[in-house]
Amino acid sequence: MTMNNQGSPTATGAGQTREPATISGDRGMDHEERLIFELGRPGMSGVDIPRVEIAESRLAGQRRKGPIGLPGLSEPEVVRHYVRLSRMNYSIDAGLYPLGSCTMKHNPRLNEKLARLPGFGDLHPLAPLSAAQGALALIGELMRWLTALTGMPAVTMVPKAGAHGELCGMLTIRAAIAARGEQRPRVLVPESAHGTNPATATFAGFTVDEIKATPKGRVDVAALEAKLGPDVGAVMLTNPNTCGLFERDVLRIAQLVHKAGAYFYCDGANFNAIAGRVRPGDLGVDAMHINLHKTFSTPHGGGGPGAGPVVLSAALAPFAPLPLLVHDASGFRLIEDRDEVPAGARPFGRMCAFHGQMGMFVRALATMLSHGRDGIRQASEDAVLSANYILASLKDAMSAPFEGPCMHEALFDDEFLHDSGVTTLDFAKAMIDEGYHPMTVYFPLVVHGAMLIEPTESESKESLDRFIRVLGTMALEAKAGKRERFEGAPRLVPRRRLDETAASRKPVLRWKPKEMPKAAE
């Protein structure tokens, strides 16, 4: 990144000049913002601290030898810096967030208020159980809801998020297989599964065997049956799958898997499409993680926060990890040691020290209690309706790889861009100039030039209509050969399109000054 002669940033490469150029480097009310280290200067501070002389003998050699490199700014400068940065961000509070497979839905403010109640927000991880009875009771009630909604007899609240939940489920399966005295090193994973599925299976010590999809975007049951054998420990299936389609043969798949002596792991990231309508336990599922930060409206993004409880069948429940939550005559308590577990329990071990996602538990239960089972069902139905409304409204302007309705995600490919000179990435980047965050692109990998849109139940019809109108118009312009509309987009943003390949391979994650400033006298 360089600076042009007006002070506004200019990224290297053709067509990268930020227009129009201004004297200040700002663009209207959007201010150009340097790094906080570049803004800081020696001697500046948000508070006035009196100069204190300390005898060298009392410092015992601890006097600083040079500047520590922290920026010096006044309080207004700090506040303005972070407010300006926040204006460069996009959030679900700003508008529709159409990421597919990520479920960026509205986070009710009621949930936020409850999570900040002192008894929950200020609870220390090492507080004695006597001081945490309310929190443990809340976890117990959340567990009751999760088992009721899934039709599963047990749940562990330990995992911190989706992939962590997957690992918990696969380690539970591994422990159950070992308890049977068997060696089952192979796991079958459909090619339409979430990318974390094969990674998790490998991390848990299994080898992964891929299952192809049918032309209709679902698991090829014949191919799966052919690969089942005495060395298969589990099948990891996402349902609804990553193409936004429900696996109609799920009962047959479960039957085949169990007949082969293997376990059925279901990726529950898309549970928000069927919650309240379908109980995974009735489908033959043995283990499934639930992303509370998707299905039950708790916020996520940027790597956290999250929570991924795992529901377990009766066959796997004994192997759930520590700690175990128990409620008896003396109240709620956590069993932390294998020597104290109830008869029949055989926990595989421990995955983390504390229930660090307590705030997510509060938010999720608040959503459940405020909606009720019928409200949760309606949310799932509305999410599916929204996705199908987008699919039906845009299938003539854009192109869909599969016939028929979808579940909670509308999937398009790049066929409608054929011979236009416009790529999926160009189309997605041009959406930013229209005020929309792009949808998920190039995923799932089974669809060429994929564009995966998940509107969720949070959006109104007016919001969806506006989104549909924008994408439909953009599609017509691309087909009409208006390449300049898309090439080099976005243009109306603080930063133009970056070289994502170079950013991935040679990331610059730390600011380093050319030379450290001298300490103030």
* Cβ-count burial 81-102 (b if 16+ within 10 Å, e if not): beeeeeeeeeebeeebbbbbbb
Give the domain ranges of the chain. 110-366
The CB density around residue 55, as the number of other CB atoms within 10 Å, is 6
CATH topology of domain 110-366: Aspartate Aminotransferase; domain 2 (3.40.640)
Instruction: Note the pTM of the prediction, 2 decimals.
Output: 0.89
Report residue 126 as tokens. Answer: 């090492």
Instruction: Report yes or no: 376 and 148 within 8 Å, Cβ to Cβ.
Output: no
Distance CA 188, CA 197 (A): 10
DSSP string, 134-188: HHHHHHHHHHHHHHHHHT-SEEE----SHHHHHHHHHHHHHHHHHHTT----EEE
Helix, strand or coil, per DSSP, at residue 52: coil
Place of tokens 């020696």: 42
Gap between the Cα atoms of 179 and 195, Å rounded: 29
What pLDDT tens digit does each residue of the chain (521 aa) get?
333 333 444 444 444 444 556 777 777 777 888 899 989 988 888 888 788 888 877 887 788 888 777 899 999 999 999 999 988 888 888 999 999 988 899 999 999 999 999 989 899 988 999 999 999 999 999 999 999 999 999 999 999 989 999 999 999 999 999 999 999 999 999 998 888 999 999 999 999 999 999 999 999 999 999 999 999 999 999 999 999 999 999 999 999 999 999 999 999 999 999 999 999 999 999 999 999 988 998 887 665 678 999 999 999 999 999 999 999 888 999 999 999 999 999 999 999 988 778 999 999 999 999 999 999 999 999 999 999 999 999 999 999 999 999 999 999 999 999 999 999 999 999 999 999 999 999 999 999 999 999 999 999 999 999 999 999 999 999 999 999 999 999 998 888 888 888 988 999 888 877 765 554 44
- Going from the C-alpha of 469 to that of each of 437, 463, 506, the distances in angstroms are 15, 10, 38
Rounded distance, CA 506 to CA 484, Å?
29
Token pair, residue 119, equals: 């008894």
